[in-house]
Amino acid sequence: MNAEPSTLRTRAGSTLPAAAAVSLEQSGFVVLPGPFSGERFDEVADAYAAAVASAAGTDVRMGTTSTRVQDFVNRGPAFDPLYVYPPLLDAALRVVGRDFTLSSFGARTLHAGAAVLDIHVDVERDSSAWPLLGFIFMIDPFRPDNGATRFLPGSHRWAASPSQARLQDHAAQLVSACGPAGSLLVFNGSTWHGQGINDSGEPRRSLQGAFIPREGRGAIDCSQRMTPQTRERLGAVAHDVLALPDVSHRLSPDGAQSR
């Protein structure tokens, strides 16, 4: 018998701080401390640089404002703790519901001098991928001068979409979600948002991902792309979050991972 997703993901109880939960519910976004600090963060930053440098082919998308590299599930163990970080999973449980799965997890480098991005939502309400919980892990600090993501607080509760609105009417309400390197930005995908202008003279790097309902169509099929090396190292919670088919036999009767 498979363990229920909510049991796996909330094994440590409610791990999202109360104030953060309120901000996510009311404003639609919150910046949290990430899962890495000190030397561990330096290792992740180095692994990020190496993974981006070695990526090739269709996994790399170079746009006018940014460069993206997809599928960081399969780019080494340094990144695994991020998408199973208990406060992040708690947030996904609150926004998406019990049965959620990882839809995307990749790198994004915002180019120096990148112009402002149109305000948007990540998924429309009539999509099978709604509701969506997005997250951005800051490899570099997010500041107003380097294009930190800007949000319209409370807009996830609005019936209208950005395409139906006069965005200039809301410009004064935009709030930059800033934080030091290693911070984790978590947001409801229905919150209106977009990058600012990066006039810092330096690129701004991040890891970005999203959780959606398990029955929704993900941006990438992790089970189809997964290497044997990745599958072997992942724990039970990661198997569940990635919707891999062999979660149950990796669990002992008390819910602990078996080898």
Q: Write the Ramachandran bin of 167: left for phi over 0, alpha for psi from -120 to 50, otherwise beta.
A: alpha
Omega of the bond leading into 228 within 30 degrees of 0 (cis)? no
Asked if 212 and 63 touch (Cβ cutoff 8 Å), the reply is no
Residue 236 CA to residue 59 CA, distance in Å, equals: 27
Q: Which amino acid appears at position 131 of this protein?
A: P
Residue 162 CA to residue 232 CA, distance in Å, equals: 43
Residues forming beta bridges with residue 210, ordered by sequence position: 104, 134
Backbone dihedral angles phi then psi of residue 186, each to the nearest 5 degrees: -120, 135
Lowest mean pLDDT among 65-79, 213-227, 238-252: 238-252
Asked if 205 and 148 touch (Cβ cutoff 8 Å), the reply is no
| Residue 12 pLDDT greater than 70, yes or no | no
pLDDT value at position 10?
Answer: 45
Residue 118 CA to residue 249 CA, distance in Å, equals: 46
Query: How large is the C-alpha radius of gyration of the chain?
Result: 18
Q: Which amino acid appears at position 176 of this protein?
A: S
pLDDT grade for 251, boundaries at 50, 70 and 90 = very low
Q: Which residue has the higher pLDDT, 185 or 253?
A: 185
For domain 5-250, say whether CATH 2.60.120.620 is its number.
Answer: yes
The per-residue pLDDT for range 90-125, each reduced to its tens digit, is: 999 999 999 999 999 999 999 999 987 778 999 999
pLDDT value at position 201?
Answer: 96
pLDDT grade for 27, boundaries at 50, 70 and 90 = very high
Average pLDDT, stretch 226-241? 92
Six-digit token string for 108: 């994004």
The mean pLDDT of the chain is 88
| Percentage above 90 pLDDT, the chain | 75
Residue 13 CA to residue 218 CA, distance in Å, equals: 27
